[in-house]
Amino acid sequence: MNVAGTDSRLVARALAGETWGFEELVRRHLRSAHAVALGVLGNPADAEDVCQDAFLTALERLEECRDPKRFAAWLMRIVRNRALNFRASRSLRQGVPLEEAAAAKSSGGDPEREAERSEARERLLAALSGLPESQREVVLLHDLEGWRHREIAELLGTSEGAVRVRLHEARRRLRTELEGG
């Protein structure tokens, strides 16, 4: 089945009871949703939980999406709100998720290279978690997900100029942290 089409068309299909429409919306927007949740929470496992919850909420409330052409922005607001609620209601879990620990044990690659990659990843995650939430969100959305300054500004309810400043400052802080460590 050809699922190509606009978000607006996919929302209409999902509202008509065609589950593939919503499944395609999930495929299209999962990475961005995860980046938003990770930007707020700083923990990949918590971000996954929040994304699942946000997509379920979006499915349940799909008829409330007033402008289906702007489904992505509507969904990202849900993700961000869920992440903020999650952070407020629970203390974040610490440690490495079990899936990552199992993957590291069974990787079978060069142990030295794997250790270097793991160390680099830990340093990057630590540097990202050291950023203020507003900077972390912007750098993840822009650099990881490829969002435009305007789109990020709309999601965060700020100006494009503020987004550019946050991105510049976040990159500067990350560079300093990663070069110094």
Burial 121-135 (b: 16+ CB within 10 A, else e): eeeeeebbeebeebb
State the pLDDT at residue 96. Answer: 47
CATH of domain 1-91: 1.10.1740.10
Lookup result for tokens 């996954």: 48
Per-residue pLDDT tens for 94-147?
A: 444 545 545 555 555 678 888 777 787 788 888 888 888 888 888 888 887 788
State the pLDDT at residue 49. Answer: 92
Closest CA to 45 of 55, 56, 34, 58: 34
Q: pTM of the predicted model, to two decimals?
A: 0.63
State the pLDDT at residue 109. Answer: 62
- Asked if 71 contacts 25 with a C-beta cutoff of 8 angstroms, the reply is yes
Residue 24 predicted with pLDDT over 80: yes
Rounded Cα distance, 167 and 171, in Å: 6
Residue 18 predicted with pLDDT over 80: yes
Per-residue pLDDT tens for 40-70?
A: 888 898 999 999 999 999 999 999 999 999 9
- Asked if 14 contacts 25 with a C-beta cutoff of 8 angstroms, the reply is yes
Domain boundaries, the chain: 1-91, 110-181
Please state the rounded mean pLDDT for residues 79-88. Answer: 90
Name the architecture of domain 110-181: Orthogonal Bundle (1.10)
State the pLDDT at residue 53. Answer: 94
pLDDT band, very low/low/confident/very high, at 90 (cuts 50, 70, 90)? low
Residue 93 predicted with pLDDT over 80: no
- What are the tokens at 4? 């190509």
State the pLDDT at residue 77. Answer: 93
State the pLDDT at residue 59. Answer: 94
SS3 100: helix
Question: What average pLDDT does the structure give for the chain?
Answer: 84
State the pLDDT at residue 127. Answer: 84
State the pLDDT at residue 97. Answer: 52
State the pLDDT at residue 103. Answer: 54
